[in-house]
Structure 1
Amino acid sequence: MSQARQNILGRLREGRQAVGAQSPARSNPASDFAPVRDRSWNAAEKLDLFQQKIESVHGEVHRISADTWIPELIRLLAEKKIRNLLVSDRKQPALELREQWHADLPQLLSYQRPIEDWKSELFNQVDASLTTSRGAIAETGSLILWPDEDEPRLMSLVPPVHFVLLQADQIYSTFYQAMSEQGWAEQGMPTNALLISGPSKTADIEQTLAYGVHGPAELIVLVLE
């Protein structure tokens, strides 16, 4: 061990002993990394808090009944002048959409091809996407997404507008509660589980906040009550 290192370690030990001598009854503080377990919000409070948190960072939340989400989606597509919507035909929401869709509505695009076959179209011509979610976290205003082969990560990353369906009864108080009640440790996790807490944003350039630089500029959550 070098003399310089010995000197540094010596000063650290002296400082620790001095602090202990000044406050002998002092106990070690609780770890800052301990999981938060003591949240007991009811369902209404969790939904209110989730909405407050995600709207504070430029996200949108629309509370609707489970049987009216398609008319609300159609209204939002028209309001935002969206020409097409990317969906996964292997997920139940897309099957419901196609039953009620008609030619006057924005085009429904299917994510069924390997990305190499339509990369240019995906990155340059798709206006919006619709994905499901695995739940949400009220404490942080975060959505939980588990991308898979049927609903790849690019669906929530590339289109400028991202619509997400969220069941109101799948909003958890904390991240710890979501992991525990959904049994993440037992059933395993995807290679890229996602927590999304708002649209993409950055202030890297001259500290000016800009949206949509690294992902969707708009995040719209349809909460099915």
Structure 2
Amino acid sequence: MSAARDAILARLRQAIGRTGEEQAKAVETVRARLDNPRPNLVPAHTRLDREGRVALFCEKALAVSAEVERLARLTDAPAAVSAFLRRHDLPQKMVMAPEPMLDLAEWEQQPLLRVRRGTAAPDDAVGLTVAVAGIAETGTLMLASSREQPTLLAFLPETVIALLQAEDIDGAYEDSWQRLREGLGRPPRSVNLVTGPSRTGDVGQKIELGAHGPRRLLVLVVEEAFGEAGDAPR
């Protein structure tokens, strides 16, 4: 922790003015809440079977200007990505998350598609990442930052492509938060919820895409579990 951050937190503690006993009680309260989280309201219409959740997710994502394509298996992703880039007159070039599981997609199927692994740079027009979960309630992607899934991939490029397993689509937000807790065991550095491309209506009450982030978002929903394509760790 930096000295500046230490100083800020110390001033906050001083301003709050808790005694040692009060501070210990507050810490214990937070720890108990983290260990036993209570779900908030869950909309009844999100209590669906797997196909119902996938269908609702796709419907909601399309409604917020995302593009959605359902794929049978992970190895269908290279052709889908290449076709998407041609459809939008974009170069066959992208930066992709250094996630080992993505090697199973067999990107060499598309020899004209140039792929770099790593985080996004300012001159990267297209980025590809993997979503931890999809939330059918609003067509939202849940992204968790890690060394294998850099956060910038979902925000810096003008065009973002997200891979999402169909089995990772939950009905409601509370379901996805529970999935995150069970899957990671600890909070990641950041969790980002992405609902469609970036937009604003500040100028003349007219919706403009790409105002504060990506102008395009393609979600590839893969029916086959990624792990079924091989033995590489997810």
Q: Under a length normalisation based on structure 2, what TM-score does the superposition of the two structures give?
A: 0.71
The equivalent residue for 1:200 is: 198
Change in Cα spacing, 1:97 to 1:174, as seen in structure 2 (3 Å) is same
Match of 2:83 in 1: 75
User: What is the DSSP-based 3-state SS (H/G/I as helix, E as strand, rest coil) of the residue aligned with 2:94?
Assistant: strand
Equivalent in the alignment of 1:35: 41
Name the structure 1 match of 2:31. none
Name the aligned partner's letter for residue 86 of structure 1. Answer: V
- 2:95 maps to 86
Give the secondary-structure state (helix, strand or coil) at the position aligned to 2:157: coil
Runs of 5+ unmatched residues, structure 1 = 1-32, 116-121
**Is the contact between residue 97 and residue 130 of structure 2 (CA under 8 Å) also seen in structure 1?**
no
| Cα contact 1:129–1:159 (8 A) shared by 2 | yes
Q: Deviations over 1:113-160 (max 9, x none)?
A: xx8xxxxxx22x311011011111111111111121222111110101
Q: How does 1:85-164 map to 2 (within 5 A)?
A: 85-94=94-103, 96-102=105-111, 105-111=112-118, 122-123=121-122, 125-164=123-162
Counterpart Cα distance in 2 of 1:92 and 1:36 = 32
Aligned in 2, Cα 1:94/1:211: closer, same or farther, shift over 3 Å? farther
Of 47, 51, 60 in structure 1, the residue corresponding to residue 67 of structure 2 is 60
Pairwise CA RMSD: 2.3
Q: Could you tell me the percent identity over the aligned residues?
A: 26
Write out the 4+ residue segments of structure 1 that deviate beyond 6 Å after TM superposition.
none
Q: Determine the structure 2 residue equivalent to 1:10.
A: none
CA 1:143–1:186: 2 relative to 1, 3 Å: closer
Q: 1:74 to 1:186 in 2, by over 3 A?
A: closer
Shift of 1:200: 0.3
1:203–1:210 Cα contact (<8 Å) kept: yes
Deviations 1:194-225 (A, max 9, x none): 11111000111222211101110001000001
User: What TM-score do you get using the length of structure 1 for normalisation?
Assistant: 0.73
Asked if 2 retains the 8 angstrom alpha-carbon contact of 1:145 and 1:194, the reply is: yes
Contact in 1 for aligned 2:143/2:193 (Cα 8 Å): yes
**Partner residue in 1 for 2:56:** 49
Q: Is the 8 A contact 1:87 1:94 kept in 2?
A: no
Q: Judge conservation of contact 1:87–1:131 (CA < 8 Å) in 2.
A: yes
SS of the residue aligned with 2:127? strand
User: Aligned partner of 1:100: which letter?
Assistant: Q
User: Residues of 2 paired with 1:48 and 1:42: CA distance?
Assistant: 10
CA deviation map 1:48-80 (0-9, x unaligned)? 111111111111110111132221122112222
